[in-house]
């Protein structure tokens, strides 16, 4: 086969895969959220995202990475969220808001440098995320916070990931 034909065949295959991925149904991941009577969480992400849970001694972190590996979402559930923005105020580029779990969330957007070069980092905290949303009145549940973090290669990707987080929901 001539080199030009092979390239065209590869291009057609790539475009076919892209079209399938763009029309694919989103995947919904269910996550435990720390236990002790706290409701679980679910997040709807585009098809092809990977989910990795990490249990800590008194917290959980849920990581979602898209297929292109140009965006990662991390959800920390625990009592001691730790914002990065106050430690690095010179890197703050702006602030924005969105609606997540029926609450207005205040995002801090930063431009940071890591091993792979520059990236965009956004973070927000929802304090007492389960208060009034569960039958449990135990402080170990009602005092839990949700620290939302996004790392992306571009500001546009970070904003798209913020939009993905609007699908976050509570599970009984």
The CATH number corresponding to 25-171 among 1.10.3860, 3.30.1490, 2.60.40, 3.40.1000 equals 3.40.1000
Question: pLDDT (tens digit, 9 = 90+) per residue, 76-98?
Answer: 999 899 887 777 777 888 999 99
pLDDT score of 41 more than 90 = yes
Report d(CA 129, CA 126) in Å as an integer: 6
Record the pTM: 0.79
Burial of 168 (0-12, 13-18, 19+ CB in 10 A): buried
Pair of tokens at residue 162: 């913020």
- 3-class DSSP string for 98-133: EEECCEEEEEEEEEEEECCEEEEEEEEEECCCCCCC
* pLDDT (0 to 100) of residue 112: 82
Question: pLDDT (tens digit, 9 = 90+) per residue, 111-148?
Answer: 888 777 788 999 999 998 887 777 666 777 888 899 99
């Amino acid at each position: 086969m001539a080199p030009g034909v092979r390239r065209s065949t590869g291009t057609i295959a790539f475009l076919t895969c892209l079209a399938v991925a763009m029309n694919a149904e989103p995947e919904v991941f269910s996550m435990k959220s720390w236990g002790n009577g706290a409701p679980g969480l679910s997040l709807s992400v585009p098809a092809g995202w990977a989910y990795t849970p990490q249990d800590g001694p008194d917290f959980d972190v849920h990581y979602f990475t898209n297929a292109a590996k140009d965006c990662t979402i991390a959800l920390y559930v625990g009592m001691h969220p730790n914002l990065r923005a106050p430690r690095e105020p010179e890197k703050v580029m702006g602030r924005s808001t969105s609606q997540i779990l029926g609450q207005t969330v205040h995002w801090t957007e930063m431009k940071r440098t890591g091993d792979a070069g520059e990236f965009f980092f956004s973070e927000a905290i929802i304090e007492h995320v389960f208060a009034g949303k569960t039958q449990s009145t135990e402080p170990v549940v009602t005092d839990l916070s949700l620290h939302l973090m996004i790392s992306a290669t571009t500001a546009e990707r970070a904003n798209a990931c913020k939009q993905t987080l609007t699908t976050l929901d509570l599970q009984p």
